[in-house]
Every structure is written in structure tokens, then in C-alpha cells.
Amino acid sequence: MSTLEIKDLQVQVNTEDGPKEILKGVTLTINDGETHAIMGPNGSGKSTLAYSIAGHPRYEVTGGSVTLDGEDVLAMSVDERARAGLFLAMQYPVEVPGVSVANFLRTAKTAIDGEAPKLRTWVKDVNAVLERMNLDPTFSQRSVNEGFSGGEKKRHEIAQLDLLDPKVAILDETDSGLDIDALKVVSEGVNRFRERDGKGVLLITHYTRILRYIKPDHVHVFVAGRVAESGGAELAEELEANGYERFLTAAV
């Protein structure tokens, strides 16, 4: 079971000119096994939503609630959220110089599971995942995200999704900056995850392109810190044809 429930979420970010309100009441429920796509123009607050759910310290929740299977996510620390089953594939993954991918993955897996993975099967698992993501086996000796190409960063995020096996995955523009081959590899990775029992996905994207490979159950148009409209896959088609124009005018 995995249900992520976001209710009337209000978030501000502290800037030099004082606090700035970004999320103005977001309500969204991702039920067991569902994939939701959130689409919206740049600056509409999509990453803010993703970071707020993951607990990034820069974002301050001023109202509303987030629960995962009834547990209060907002009361948890960043790492507790991850251990509770949340995963955020970041739009801009962060470099950690000197820490190898292998070390990082093993440390994360140990933290999530509460015990170290069995050495023999673990190495095999990691290699298999890297291969599926079209990443060279020597990849695991490189420093986390350091000198990775844009595509490698995103594939590395999805490799983590596969290995860490959360309940709910939030993918923040995992598709942007990918060429078509990488997009397919990444989409296959996400689809493999979705095939597992009861996994929720919140797929944040600017473009409709990825929705050809990952079929959402629900599509939400996100404008100016709010869900402007929700619907099925047909909503994505409308966006493909007409863009965000209609929603932007409505938001003003």
C-alpha cells in the first residue's frame, strides 16, 4: 500500500527581499499504484512542490499537510522521509566529490533497509541495474554526479530508484535535457518501477514528450503555485496542441 496525500499545501521560500509565497494551496492524492503527471510552465512551482515533499530546508511550509499512508511527512526529517518510502529524482542532482557511486549506493541502501545488503547479491544487483540504465560498470567507481553528462545524471537517479525501491517516487523533470535514446532508457526504468506492486509516481515535467513512454493515470496542469486543472491523458494532448496559454490567462 502507498498513498501520498497532499492537502492545501502552502510553501514559501525566504529570499533576500523577505519571504516569497510559492505554493498557494496544493491538493493532490496519489493512490496505490497510480502515476500522476504534473505539467506546468517554468517557474510555476513544480520543483518547489517536489523539494517541499522531500523536506529541503530552503522551503518553509506555512500551511497544509502531507501524509504517506497516514503518517505525517512534514514532521519527519529529510532522511526519515526517505526511509519512510519517499524518493525524489532531482532536476539538478548534486555532485559529491570523492564519494564513489558504489559507496553512495551501498550507504543509501543500508540506511533505507536498516541493514547492510548482502555483499554478493548486492554487487550483482548494482551491476545489473547499471547495465539496464546503459551505464558502464566503471561508472560505480566515479564520484557521485561529478563530471557526469546530463543524461548520466538522470540515469543515475533512476538507477537509485530501482535499487532503493521506495513506495512513492517524485521525478522532477527527469526527462529534460535527455536525447531520445536516454529518454527511452529512463522511461523503461520508471516503467519497471511502476510494474512493482502498489508504487506511486509523481512525474513532473515541462514537456509532453515523456508521456508517450510513461502513461499517466492522471494529469494536472500546474500554474502559479496551484493545480489549475486535472484530468486524464487527454489533458496532456490538449497541452501538446495548445500549450499553457489558456491556463496562464485564467491564472491572471
Ligand X SMILES: Nc1ncnc2c1ncn2[C@@H]1O[C@H](COP(=O)(O)OP(=O)(O)O)[C@@H](O)[C@H]1O
The residues of the shown chain that bind ligand X, judged by CB under 6 A, are: 13, 15, 20, 22, 40, 42-48, 58
Sorted by sequence, the CB contacts under 8 Å of residue 139 that are 6+ apart come out as 101, 130, 152, 156
CB of 228 to another protein, least distance (A): 28
Draw the binding track, 41-70, toward another protein (x: CB under 8 A; -: no contact): -------------xxxxx------------
**Shortest gap between Cβ of 165 and another protein (angstroms)?**
11
Pick the stretch among 18-26, 46-54, 146-154, 180-188 that binds Mg ion (CB under 5 A): 46-54
Is 70 exposed, middle or buried (CB count within 10 Å of its CB: 0-12, 13-18, 19+)? Answer: exposed
- Site for another protein contains 81 (CB under 8 A): yes
CB 8 within 8 A of CB 25: yes
Q: Which of 2, 3, 47, 205 binds Mg ion (CB under 5 A)?
A: 47
Residue 67 burial (10 A CB sphere; 0-12, 13-18, 19+):
middle
- Single out the residue of 13, 106, 18, 104 nearest to residue 61, CA to CA: 13
Residue type, 149: S
For residues 154 to 193, the per-residue mask of contacts with another protein, x marking binding by CB under 8 A and - elsewhere, is ------x---x-----------------------------
The β-bridge partners of 12 are: 21, 60
**Footprint of another protein (CB under 8 A):** 54-58, 77-79, 81-83, 87-88, 90, 93-99, 103-104, 107-108, 111-112, 143-144, 160, 164
